[in-house]
């Protein structure tokens, strides 16, 4: 089979398209003929060898990234029923290996792909959508909120904007560049700001003081971390919620306890909350797939051929993509 292999940590060009032996499913496993593999922003950080913040441990090399896979079961382990053969499935594998034509997954991690949901949307939904469901459950958003979504044009940011708007909340979306801010406005955000501009914090403050009716930001939803998270935190009003769900920048931002207390702000680490209850993760992912199939969640995907995984990583790092990045074998 063809797969994308990393032999040395470093730039995107270190990802090599190679031929590897076909993997064989072991006990309790199935093999999936991959139709779409998700690319996660955190994988670009791991590939570079960065370990700061909430980044998972670096993989052993050589490594094949890819934990999000949609495709069709083409082989089963010795103790798995033959009825799984030929089923369309999607999985967020507990182990990597998805940047390939074939991938092995534990049956316990596999969900059937809902009818009418294509492979790219399924890959976009299972982790991005599942994490969105988990974040929303902890954020407690309502129609009276003024919500600031960081990286609002990204795969998860788009879903958070859609959901907050559906609740009736006022939504401010921060995205990078005019094309992405236009996409955020199309999602229904009341204000879209370009966080690559040095005055974006002031632009939000001015809007709140004027068209925003003098209101304050009551909830920040951030999965970026670093200086971008710090800036968003500065916009949060007294008594607000600072909801974090990772740090794709590779740098975690954790507000100081004394500042949280002084401003009466609650920090909700939604990712830790989700990981503290692993028994809920499968339900969150199944709900995300159902909501996507029903049209409640809509995903934008940016596809690259498997052989161009390096280009996909580079595009993600340079923030040239909108929505979920997907590799197609």
Domain extents in the chain: 2-113+299-328, 128-275
What pLDDT was estimated at residue 236?
95
The fold of 128-275 is Rossmann fold (3.40.50)
- The pLDDT value given to residue 52: 61
Q: CA 105 to CA 111: how far, in whole Å?
A: 11
Q: Report pLDDT for 55.
A: 55
Low-confidence ranges of the chain (pLDDT < 50): 54
Which is the CATH superfamily of the domain at 2-113+299-328? Medium-chain alcohol dehydrogenases, catalytic domain (3.90.180.10)
Task: Name the H helices within the chain.
Answer: 41-48, 119-124, 130-139, 155-167, 178-186, 200-209, 226-234, 257-263, 270-275, 281-293, 309-317
2-113+299-328 and 128-275 agree in CATH topology: no
Peptide bond into 62 cis (omega under 30): yes
Predicted pLDDT at 279: 81
**Can you tell me the distance from the alpha carbon of 318 to that of 158, in angstroms, rounded to the nearest whole number?**
18
| Res 6: pLDDT | 98
On whether the pTM is more than 0.85, the answer is no
248-284 burial: b if 16+ Cβ within 10 Å, else e? bbbbbbbbeeeeeeebebeebbbbebbeeeeeebeeb
Q: How high is the pLDDT of residue 272? A: 84
Structure-token pair, residue 248 = 């794709």
């Amino acid at each position: 089979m063809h797969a994308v292999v990393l032999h040395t940590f470093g730039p995107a060009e270190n990802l090599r398209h190679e031929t590897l032996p076909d993997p064989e499913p072991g006990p309790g496993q199935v093999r999936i003929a991959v139709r779409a593999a998700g690319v996660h922003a955190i994988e670009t950080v791991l590939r570079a060898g960065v370990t700061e913040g909430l980044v998972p441990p670096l993989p052993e090399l050589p490594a094949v990234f890819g934990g999000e896979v949609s495709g069709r079961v083409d082989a089963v382990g010795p103790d798995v029923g033959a009825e799984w053969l030929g089923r369309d499935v999607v999985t967020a594998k507990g182990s990597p290996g998805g940047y390939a034509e074939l991938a092995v997954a534990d049956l316990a991690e596999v969900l059937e792909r809902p009818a009418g949901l294509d492979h790219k949307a399924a890959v976009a939904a299972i982790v991005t959508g599942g994490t969105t469901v988990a974040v929303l459950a902890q954020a407690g958003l309502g129609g009276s909120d003024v919500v600031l979504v960081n990286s609002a044009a990204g795969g998860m940011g788009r879903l958070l904007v859609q959901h907050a708007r559906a609740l009736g909340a006022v939504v401010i979306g921060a995205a990078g560049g005019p094309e992405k801010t236009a996409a955020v406005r199309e999602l229904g955000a009341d204000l879209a700001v370009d966080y690559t501009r040095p005055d974006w914090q002031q632009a939000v403050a001015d809007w709140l003081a004027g068209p925003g009716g003098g209101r304050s930001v009551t909830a920040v939803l951030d999965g970026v971390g670093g200086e971008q998270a710090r800036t968003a935190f500065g916009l949060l009003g007294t008594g607000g919620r600072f909801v974090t769900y990772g740090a794709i920048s590779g740098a975690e931002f954790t507000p100081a306890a004394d500042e949280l207390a002084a401003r009466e702000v609650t920090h909700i680490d939604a990712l830790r909350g989700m990981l503290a209850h692993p028994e809920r993760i499968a339900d969150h992912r199944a709900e995300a797939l159902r909501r996507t199939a029903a049209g409640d969640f809509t995903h934008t995907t940016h596809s690259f051929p498997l052989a161009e995984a390096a280009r996909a990583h580079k595009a993600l790092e340079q923030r040239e993509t909108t929505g979920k990045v997907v590799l197609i074998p």
